[in-house]
Amino acid sequence: MFEPSSIIVGLEIGTSKVCAVVGDYGADGALNIVGLGQARSRGVRKGEISDPTLTEEDLRQAIAEAEQMADVEIRSVFLGVTGGHVRGFNNRGVHPIVSADREIAEEDVQDVVKNAKLLNLPAQNRVLHAIRQHFHVDGLDGITNPVGMVGSRVEVDMHVVHGILHRLQTAIRTVKGLQIEVDDIVFTGLASSLALLTNEQKELGSLVIDLGAGTTEYVVYSHGIIKHTGVLAVGGDHVSNDLAYGLKVPLSRAEQLKVEHGAAMVDDSIKGQTIPIPNDLGLPQKPINLEHLRRIMSARLEEIFQIIGQDLAQAGALDYLRAGVFLCGGGTRIPQIAKLAEHVFDMQVSVGKTNSISGLKSALDQPEFATAIGLAKYGSFQQRKRPKASLAGGIRNTFGQLFKHA
């Protein structure tokens, strides 16, 4: 049995699965994964809960499994949230230094950060994360800590992720229905990137794409900071739906065909090949054309990458990706997906491995669990009194009031 305070649980309510990861961080501050619980998710569409009752059952199952495996009682979780309504953008705050000696003090830094958080958001939106990027002092870029410097004007860039309050509250409420506290809510794209990237990769510039069932999240790092985030409410479910529509098969069959015969690229070798469909009733059935299947899938996946590419190009983030693209989420199970992404982005693409965390090997190797592991990692950063990495230092819990409402 572990000390309850040293236990950190990351909970992801995904479109295809509910997943709880139990982490334990010891005296040395390293996170060790000790438990994992998952259940098929039935009440979620496009990353957002559409049937809280079903989700509550699934949650209970996943939590119970994780509790049993880790032999702990889960009292609170770090909850991952996503959905088409979650958006990220960069905002800049400016603060003039008025003191006689023009030395930048801690208070000035606090003021400039405060200024950067003054946003013009719609009334129903709430800030999920306000992540500090770099400071500028009198136009000098790339300063991580300006305290003690001399200048007349300090500016800070802030990456702000925000979403619609009510939709975020639905997830919190559902978890609270199980008598489990929510420590914080975290954008799942951010969590995945935490699990996947090393500091070096963040420094070089990387793109993390989490190909989920309902949504696809993407996060861009460069110079060690988050440059851009986004969510596309399109995922593996859409692939299955396209197949069901295009091949005229039921959705469950389409799902099965996707898993068994799907691939992200269309090869010339499969022309004219068909897949016989096993039949319980012995009735004659039209075989499925493999080429059609692949083309439908490929079109959808390519489009997802293209939309992300266009968004990044617009944000001017494409040129910073020197470490390449990292994929995670259930979508990485699709054969040749990395090759397709390479083709679209024209850079090195690899399936991300959750690193710098020790523990259950079986859990860490699965790309599906990157988000939940990242959530636990985020939690461990939060729990630590002194912030270590530049990223963790910048992440602030701006969500206190939200929990009071929920």
> Which residues are near another protein by CB under 8 A?
45-46, 50, 84, 232-234, 237-238, 241-242, 244-246, 251, 289, 292, 295-296, 299-300, 302-303, 307
Beta bridge partners of 302: none
Q: Which is nearer to another protein, 297 or 372 (CB)?
A: 297
- Cβ-based nearer residue to another protein, 211 or 233: 233
Q: Which is nearer to another protein, 39 or 49 (CB)?
A: 49
- Residue 190: CB minimum distance to another protein, A: 22
Nearer to another protein, 46 or 126 (CB): 46
Report the 3 state secondary structure along the chain: CCCHHHEEEEEEECCCEEEEEEEEECCCCCEEEEEEEEEECCCEECCEECCHHHHHHHHHHHHHHHHHHHCCCCCEEEEEECCCCCEEEEEEEEEECCCCCCECCHHHHHHHHHHHCCCCCCCCEEEEEEEEEEEEECCEEEECCCCCCECCEEEEEEEEEEEEHHHHHHHHHHHHCCCCEEEEEEEHHHHHHHHHCCHHHHHHCEEEEEECCCCEEEEEEECCEEEEEEEECCCHHHHHHHHHHHHCCCHHHHHHHHHHHCCCCCCHHHCCCEECCCCCCCCCCCCEEHHHHHHHHHHHHHHHHHHHHHHHHHHCCHHHCCCEEEEECHHHHCCCHHHHHHHHHCCCEEECCCCCCEECHHHHCCHHHHHHHHHHHHHHHHHCCCCCCHHHHHCCCCCHHHHHHC
For the bound state, the minimum distance from the C-beta of residue 290 to another protein, rounded and expressed in Å, comes to 12
> Cβ 33 to another protein, closest distance in Å?
33
Nearer to another protein, 156 or 266 (CB): 266
**Non-local CB neighbours of 51 within 8 Å, separated by 6+ positions:** 42, 43, 44
| Of residues 290 and 376, the one with the C-beta less far from another protein | 290
Nearer Cβ to another protein, position 168 or 180? 168
Please list the residues that pair with 32 across neighbouring strands. 24, 358
Q: At closest approach, how far in Å is the CB of 12 from another protein?
A: 20
Angle between helices 251-261 and 236-247 (to 10 degrees): 110
Closer by beta carbon to another protein, 203 or else 302: 302
State the nearest-atom distance from the C-beta of 27 to another protein, in Å: 46
Minimum CB distance to another protein, residue 50 (Å): 7
Query: Which is nearer to another protein, 15 or 366 (by Cβ)?
Result: 15
Q: In whole angstroms, how close is the CB of 46 to another protein at the nearest point?
A: 6
Residue nearer to another protein on the CB measure, 185 or 244: 244
The CB-of-379 to another protein minimum distance in angstroms stands at 30
Least Å distance between CB 367 and another protein? 23
The phi and psi torsions of 392 (rounded to 5 degrees) equal -65, -35
Q: Contact, 6 vs 25, CB < 8 A? A: yes
CB closer to another protein out of 340 and 391:
340
Measured from the CB of residue 299, what is the shortest distance to another protein in angstroms?
Answer: 4
Minimum distance, C-beta of residue 215 to another protein, in the bound complex (Å): 10
151-187 in b/e form (b: 16+ CB < 10 A) is beebbbbbbbbbbbbebbbbbbbbbeeeebebbbbbb
